[in-house]
Structure 1
Amino acid sequence: MARRTMALIPHWSSRVFAVELDGAAFYFATREKHRGEEAPRVFREVQNNARCYSLLVCSGDRIRRAKFYAELKDTLLRDLPPQCHLSSMSSFLPNVRGSLLKGYFLKDTSESSSPTERLLRDLSQHDPVFVCSYSKCEDDRLWTQHLWSHADSPTTEMSKDHYVVPSEEPEYHPSTLNIINSDVFYSFEEACDVLKKCGDIIPEALSVLELLPSRAAARSKPDFPVIVIEGLDATGKTTLTESLRDALGASLLRSPPQCLSPMRPRFDQEPPLIRRAFYALGNYITAEQIGQEAMRTPVIVDRFWHSTAAYAIATAVSGQVCNLPAEGSEVYCWPSDLLQPSLVVLLTLDPEERKRRLRDRGQGKTEEEQELDQNKLFRLKVEKAYQRISGPACVAVDASPSADQVLQQVLLLIRGKCHL
């Protein structure tokens, strides 16, 4: 903890802080001297009797950091006074990858600060968090930030108060600084490394590692075409993939592969870093299966890396669609060590028609599917991420006609692009 703290302290005054309120990020920074700026909006709206605090998770071990961040919210919701309002926040060095620290911003309107500060003091002394308190100056327009000392940290540098000032919105949304090999994995080794480090705390991780190929399959061109069918639930993927299998005499595979089904419930409960590594490795297991099948027959794949990446990116990036990495960003590039399909078809469907089909199914929904139904913005971000992934890019096909019409349209695409 001490090394991590001392590494961050020299950069503290260069950091930007972002508080998420109602789906939007509000930015502020700190300065030793005030230059007459108005207080950042997040503080202007604080009630007179409220006290503000922030917690940023700072462990150098990213597995521990991910686990603790997920558990911290439960701790705060359980132990803080009911008058405390909790918002997500982050701290980062503008445009510096790997600099993102995640945490929470508190507004406490309870009568006494003692219960809140007692909990925060205990966290700052025993857990991997930076705690800051914020105080209004005699001039109501001014606020200061006080970084609490940690038991293992040099107090002289941390005890100095800084003025809180507005900060411009950064060129890149802060969450995009953390996507590479954290929310989305771009190599077999990176994803494998995460699960190896989880072996002592998640027994199922060892079971997954035993199922993995010894290394990522070489990215050589398969003997037969590999066609991936993507799309949100209820767009007709299952019907289409089975029809393509029969029409082309092809093999049909699904990602994540069936062999991982017993482990999915456990990993779906884990923080994003661990959960995404698990699903990334599922793609590499599927790739090995594709390589074997494509030596003797065409292969149809129900979802692959596009799904893994699109959902992860949409989940990681908060706020509006414009916060997503721009088209052409490296986050949309296909992993260099993952088997590349010959064609990727993205089935699209009017949102209301998709909801009707889901109702007709009467099936239980995944957490992400519930989010798609309830949150139009999340759906738009998933769809935009799908459209921006390259190497190969998706070819969109309208799934609203009859199943046979969609099949014939996709067969024409396959014959044109894959020469089948």
Structure 2
Amino acid sequence: MARRAMSLLSQWSSRIFSVELDGAPFYFSIQETHRREEVPRVFREVRNNGRCYSLLVCSDDRIRRAKFYGELKGKLLRGLPPECDLSPMSSFLPNVKDSLIKGREEGQLWTQHLWSHADSQTMETSKEYYVVPSEAPQYHPSTLNIINSDVFYSFEEAYEVIKKCGDIIPEASSVLELLPSRAEARSKPDFPVIVIEGLDATGKTTLTESLRDTLGAALLRSPPQCLSPLRARFDQEPPLIRRAFYALGNYITAEQIGQEGMKTPVIIDRFWHSTAAYAIATAVSGPVCNLPAEGSEVYCWPSDLLQPSLVVLLTLDPEERKRRLRDRGQGKTEEEQKLDHNQLFRLRVEEAYRRIIGPACVIVDASPSADQVLQQVQLLIRGKCHL
């Protein structure tokens, strides 16, 4: 581990760094000698003699690295004095996949500390560099590591993550016991499969239940009910583990679809589109233009996951959606709170939904009455699914 940490030190001069403040990334690079370059904007407000520390966890085991990183973040948030700021930070090689390394930035002189954590042995080393401004990269750095880290594109990739969690998360074995056989999950149903997607309060529940009744269909939800007792546990885990958990939920739902779809049409309240759209929108910060470009492989449906016959995306004016949420009188989920307080996040989620292909979403305005929305969706189903 010490050798790997030291090799990372020698690579810093070729990497670009990103610090996020107020949801926007600021980029800089480092060099060992001062050449009278302008101080990067992100550091201009640092008080005299102030310092910034980046904590980087090094490990060849990405499961333990993600777990330790999450625990370290929590401890820093709880233990730092009030005058210290904690901001997301990363470094990357421009346009090189899987080159993103996450750190945490606290508080132009910048000191890099590397902690190599393995078998209770900790190595700390520091070296001072000067920071200089850097141009924004062609692609948002988080897009470099989305595949099979924030969004999973095969059963095997997600399965391996949860399997390796067995010795650190006891509940992982319960997830593995619920997984389908791969042969069953690939079976294609005889009847159409219709997915209804959309943010909360767009009318998904009303529509899916109405379609169930009018079509005599089976109604399923994703994540599946069998994972409900485990969701609170895995929602506490770092993104890598949490996203793998929800990815496997889609494969459990796919098995249920295969079974029900042999007897009747199937209506699904959310499926892979939701899993991917929220993960992509969370991984990539800032405005919509930071998302991977349309046609990117990150928007492609997993090749081993059952594809629905039709995906309907219900959309609603933001103010009307908030009014409906207020009328419900229900407590908001953490996801809903983020949608309400972060308009950029909501826009990224909606745009990610629209860019997913294989199949793509058919957008339906959910502002008319429930009966009118039902009639419109029934017309779509008749035209595309011949029901």
Match of 1:205 in 2: 172
Match of 2:216 in 1: 249
Match of 1:114 in 2: none
Match of 2:257 in 1: 290
The answer to whether 1:91 aligns with 2:58 is no
Alignment partner of 1:390 out of 357, 369, 378 = 357
What is the CA deviation profile of residues 133-170 of structure 1, one whole-angstrom value per residue up to 9, with x for unaligned ones? xxxxxxxxxxxxxxxxx9658x7xx75x4432211101
Match of 1:140 in 2: none
Q: Structure 1 residues 44-53 or 392-401, which shifts more?
A: 44-53
Give the superposition deviation at 1:32.
4.0
For 1:300 and 1:126, the matched residues in 2 are separated by 49
- The change in CA–CA distance for 1:216 and 1:172 in structure 2 (over 3 A counts) is farther
Match of 2:367 in 1: 400
- The change in CA–CA distance for 1:174 and 1:126 in structure 2 (over 3 A counts) is closer
Gaps of 5+ in 1: 108-116, 129-149
Q: Structure 1 residues 223-232 or 317-326, which shifts more?
A: 317-326
Match of 2:104 in 1: 104
Mapped contact 2:116–2:123 kept (Cα < 8 A): no
Question: Which amino acid in structure 1 is aligned with residue 240 of structure 2?
Answer: L
Match of 2:69 in 1: 69
Give the superposition deviation at 1:219.
4.5
Mapped contact 1:227–1:344 kept (Cα < 8 A): yes
Match of 2:54 in 1: 54
Mapped contact 2:97–2:144 kept (Cα < 8 A): yes
The answer to whether 1:372 aligns with 2:342 is no
What is the CA deviation profile of residues 93-138 of structure 1, one whole-angstrom value per residue up to 9, with x for unaligned ones? 111111111111112xxxxxxxxx9xx97xx55647xxxxxxxxxx
What is the CA deviation profile of residues 308-328 of structure 1, one whole-angstrom value per residue up to 9, with x for unaligned ones? 111111111112221111111
**Matched residue count:** 382
Match of 1:299 in 2: 266
Alignment partner of 1:315 out of 264, 276, 282 = 282
Aligned pairs for 1:299-378 within 5 A? 299-378=266-345
Normalised by the size of structure 2, how large is the TM-score?
0.93
Question: Which amino acid in structure 2 is aligned with residue 50 of structure 1?
Answer: G
Mapped contact 2:185–2:251 kept (Cα < 8 A): no
- The change in CA–CA distance for 1:222 and 1:190 in structure 2 (over 3 A counts) is same
Give the superposition deviation at 1:358.
1.1
Mapped contact 1:192–1:281 kept (Cα < 8 A): yes
- 3-state SS in 2 of match to 1:358: helix
Query: What root-mean-square deviation, in Å, do the aligned CA atoms of Structure 1 and Structure 2 show?
Result: 2.1
Give the superposition deviation at 1:201.
1.6
Question: Which amino acid in structure 2 is aligned with residue 75 of structure 1?
Answer: K
Give the superposition deviation at 1:45.
2.5
For 1:298 and 1:193, the matched residues in 2 are separated by 32
What is the CA deviation profile of residues 344-398 of structure 1, one whole-angstrom value per residue up to 9, with x for unaligned ones? 0001111111111111111222210111122211111110110011100000001
Question: Which amino acid in structure 1 is aligned with residue 74 of structure 2?
Answer: D
- Stretches of 4+ aligned residues off by more than 6 angstroms: none
Mapped contact 2:56–2:115 kept (Cα < 8 A): no
- The change in CA–CA distance for 1:334 and 1:3 in structure 2 (over 3 A counts) is farther
Match of 1:31 in 2: 31
Give the superposition deviation at 1:74.
2.2
- Structure number, greater radius of gyration: 1
For 1:377 and 1:216, the matched residues in 2 are separated by 40
Normalised by the size of structure 1, how large is the TM-score?
0.86
The answer to whether 1:264 aligns with 2:231 is yes
For 1:217 and 1:368, the matched residues in 2 are separated by 32
For 2:77 and 2:282, the matched residues in 1 are separated by 22
Q: Structure 1 residues 276-285 or 290-299, which shifts more?
A: 290-299
Question: Which amino acid in structure 2 is aligned with residue 26 of structure 1?
Answer: F
- The change in CA–CA distance for 1:125 and 1:389 in structure 2 (over 3 A counts) is closer
Question: Which amino acid in structure 2 is aligned with residue 356 of structure 1?
Answer: R
Give the superposition deviation at 1:15.
0.8
Question: Which amino acid in structure 2 is aligned with residue 17 of structure 1?
Answer: F
Q: Structure 1 residues 165-174 or 29-38, which shifts more?
A: 29-38
- 3-state SS in 2 of match to 1:38: coil
For 1:312 and 1:250, the matched residues in 2 are separated by 30
Match of 1:194 in 2: 161
For 2:384 and 2:122, the matched residues in 1 are separated by 63
For 2:271 and 2:183, the matched residues in 1 are separated by 15
- The change in CA–CA distance for 1:224 and 1:167 in structure 2 (over 3 A counts) is same
Identity of aligned residues (%): 81
